[in-house]
């Protein structure tokens, strides 16, 4: 009986609520599939600050290092907003976690079921069958991390700020490998997004992607697109993409555009993968909902647990190589969300049947 060893970091506000629901679904699947779940729960974010004086307590980091994957909720909220920026839960917990484990690849499925197309700001005739695409964003390089990065006062009294965009060929190749794997699991169609008409890093990006795919992935239908056009095409006809891969800042912006056209934050999960391998020789990863801690609805029992449940599916897919079980969970979520108005309501942010009832509906379809 395979044992799945993972760390559970629920975080703050709705984090623990949706995590409890997701774990209940996971326990149910595990029983059906003969899996043993060996997980330990630890504080992170505001809970880390309150209980250990630190957003990312040493004991939490140690637990993560000893696990095969991290199932993350979300962190932050009004309770800790007055802290200095460097001590805020997101900045002091999530970013160091990504950095510590070199989680350079962020995979975010953009999924909108056909039955829920009216949740999207796009006209239904543009997405008659919903949306089903994947964004792969480089997460630890580019403009956000490049040095020098500073603000200086010039001799004439003017003020100058500098950010630096840096990419190495090796960094481009490693994110590309993740994108190729994702594309191979889908329609074998990959669009690389850059700004090669203006940026040196993008020229290297495009050349590296072209050469690497020609040499190592001739089975992939590769295309290139400038980022400004990609932003337009996402709003015009999102399904022309299957998998798209891009650098850090472009991915930050395009993945948020993708989230909004998919209609509901409570439905989107994400996987962050790194260079590390777990004890099974598979990618070590952090799996989390795309949304935040939703303080406005915390404690009411109405948060949509689907993104957290879909994060479990992602963890099974990448860190445990259990694709069939991941697909079963995804199919059950789809059925639960689309099979009735009441359960469907929750994805639209309308009055809902509640977190627990949604998890029950998913379990009923497993
Ligand atoms: P948010 O994503 O928490 O909420 C935005 C809106 O979406 C709210 O109206 C909320 O009620 C709704 N929403 C989000 N998730 C939902 C769900 N599962 N079900 C139903 N509705 C849901 O964004 P925000 O309000 O800007 O941020 C709140 C806090 O979360 C902030 O402290 C922010 O820093 C933090 N945050 C954390 C993460 C993370 O941990 N990865 C990500 C984003 C924001």
Q: Over 90: is that where the pLDDT of 160 sits?
A: yes
Structure tokens belonging to residue 151: 């603000």
* Residue of 328, 361, 317 whose CA lies nearest to 109: 317
Question: Which residues form the pocket of ligand 1, taking CB atoms under 6 Å from any ligand atom?
Answer: 14, 18, 74-77, 90, 94, 265-266, 288, 291-297, 303-304, 307, 349
Eight-class DSSP state of 83: S
SS3 call for 130: coil
Query: Which residue in this structure is represented by tokens 């889908």?
Result: 186
pLDDT tens sequence across 60-84: 999 999 999 999 999 999 999 999 8
Q: Over 70: is that where the pLDDT of 350 sits?
A: no
Q: Judge if 1-106+269-366 and 121-261 fold alike in CATH terms.
A: yes
Residue 162's DSSP bridge partners are 150
- Taking the centre of ligand 1 as the mean of its atom positions, its distance from the CA of residue 64, in whole angstroms, is 23
CB 214 within 8 A of CB 246: no
Catalogue the active-site residues. 144, 195, 228, 252, 256
Under the banding of pLDDT at 50, 70 and 90, the label for residue 341 is very low
| pLDDT, position 352 | 57
- Taking the centre of ligand 1 as the mean of its atom positions, its distance from the CA of residue 292, in whole angstroms, is 3
Q: Over 70: is that where the pLDDT of 346 sits?
A: no
The angle, 0 to 180 degrees and rounded to 10, between the axes of the packed helices 306-318 and 14-33 is 50
pLDDT tens sequence across 254-301: 998 998 898 777 888 999 999 899 999 999 999 999 888 999 989 988
| pLDDT, position 123 | 93
CB 136 within 8 A of CB 105: yes
Q: Which helix (H) or strand (E) holds 90?
A: none
Q: Which of 85, 294, 296, 333 to mutate to test the pocket of ligand 1 (most atoms within 8 A of CB)?
A: 294
Q: Over 60: is that where the pLDDT of 344 sits?
A: no
Nearest-angstrom CA–CA distance, 50 and 13: 13
Nearest-angstrom CA–CA distance, 339 and 128: 18
Q: Over 60: is that where the pLDDT of 234 sits?
A: yes
Q: Specify the residue with its C-alpha closest to ligand 1, atom 10.
A: 294
Report the chain's mean pLDDT, rounded to a whole number: 92
* Residue of 307, 363, 296 whose CA lies nearest to 336: 363
* Residue of 160, 161, 177 whose CA lies nearest to 169: 177
| Most distant CA atoms of the chain, gap in Å | 71
| pLDDT, position 353 | 66
Q: Specify the residue with its C-alpha closest to ligand 1, atom 1.
A: 292
| pLDDT, position 340 | 59
pLDDT tens sequence across 92-122: 998 889 889 999 999 999 999 888 888 888 9
- Taking the centre of ligand 1 as the mean of its atom positions, its distance from the CA of residue 248, in whole angstroms, is 21
Mean pLDDT score, 298-307: 90
Q: Specify the residue with its C-alpha closest to ligand 1, atom 30.
A: 292
pLDDT tens sequence across 308-339: 999 999 999 999 999 999 999 999 998 888 87
Q: Quickly name the fold that domain 121-261 has.
A: Isopropylmalate Dehydrogenase (3.40.718)
> Is 60 exposed, middle or buried (CB count within 10 Å of its CB: 0-12, 13-18, 19+)?
buried
Q: Quickly name the fold that domain 1-106+269-366 has.
A: Isopropylmalate Dehydrogenase (3.40.718)
Q: How many helices (H) and strands (E) in the chain?
A: 13, 12
Question: Structural domain boundaries of the chain?
Answer: 1-106+269-366, 121-261
Does the predicted model carry a pTM greater than 0.85?
yes
- Taking the centre of ligand 1 as the mean of its atom positions, its distance from the CA of residue 140, in whole angstroms, is 22
- Locate the ligand 1 atom nearest the alpha carbon of residue 73 and give its number: 40
Q: Over 50: is that where the pLDDT of 28 sits?
A: yes
Q: Over 60: is that where the pLDDT of 207 sits?
A: yes
Q: Specify the residue with its C-alpha closest to ligand 1, atom 16.
A: 266
């Amino acid at each position: 009986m395979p044992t799945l060893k993972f760390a559970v970091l629920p975080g703050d506000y709705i984090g623990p609520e949706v995590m409890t629901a997701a774990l209940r679904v996971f326990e149910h699947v595990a029983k059906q599939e003969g899996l043993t779940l060996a997980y330990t729960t630890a504080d992170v974010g505001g809970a880390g600050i309150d209980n250990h004086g630190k957003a990312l307590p040493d004991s939490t980091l140690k637990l993560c290092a000893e696990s095969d994957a991290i199932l993350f909720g979300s962190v932050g909220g009004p309770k800790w907003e007055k802290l200095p920026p460097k001590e805020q839960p997101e900045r002091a917990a999530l970013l160091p976690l990504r950095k510590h484990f070199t989680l350079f690849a962020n995979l975010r499925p953009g999924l909108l079921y056909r039955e829920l197309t009216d949740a999207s700001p796009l006209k239904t005739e543009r997405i008659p069958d919903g949306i089903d695409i994947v964004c792969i964003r480089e997460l630890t390089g580019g403009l956000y991390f490049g040095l020098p990065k500073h603000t200086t006062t010039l001799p004439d009294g003017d003020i100058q700020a500098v950010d630096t965009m840096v990419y190495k060929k090796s960094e481009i190749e490693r994110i590309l490998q993740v994108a190729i794997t994702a594309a191979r699991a889908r329609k074998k169609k990959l669009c690389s997004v850059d700004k090669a008409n203006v940026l040196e890093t993008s020229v290297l990006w495009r050349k590296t992607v072209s050469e690497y795919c020609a040499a190592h992935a001739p089975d992939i239908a590769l295309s290139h697109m400038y980022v400004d056009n990609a932003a337009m095409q996402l709003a015009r006809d999102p399904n022309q993409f299957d998998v798209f891969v891009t650098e850090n800042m472009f991915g930050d912006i395009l993945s948020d555009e993708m989230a909004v056209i998919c209609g509901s934050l409570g439905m989107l999960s994400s996987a962050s993968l790194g260079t590390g391998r777990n004890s099974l020789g598979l990618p070590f990863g952090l799996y989390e909902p795309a949304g935040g801690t939703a303080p406005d609805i915390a404690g009411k029992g109405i948060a949509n647990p689907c993104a957290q449940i879909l994060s479990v599916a992602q963890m099974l897919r990448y860190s445990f190589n259990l694709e069939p079980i991941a697909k079963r969970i995804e199919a059950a979520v789809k059925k639960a969300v689309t099979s009735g108005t009441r359960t469907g309501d929750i994805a639209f942010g309308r009055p809902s049947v509640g977190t627990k009832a949604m998890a029950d509906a998913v379990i009923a379809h497993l």
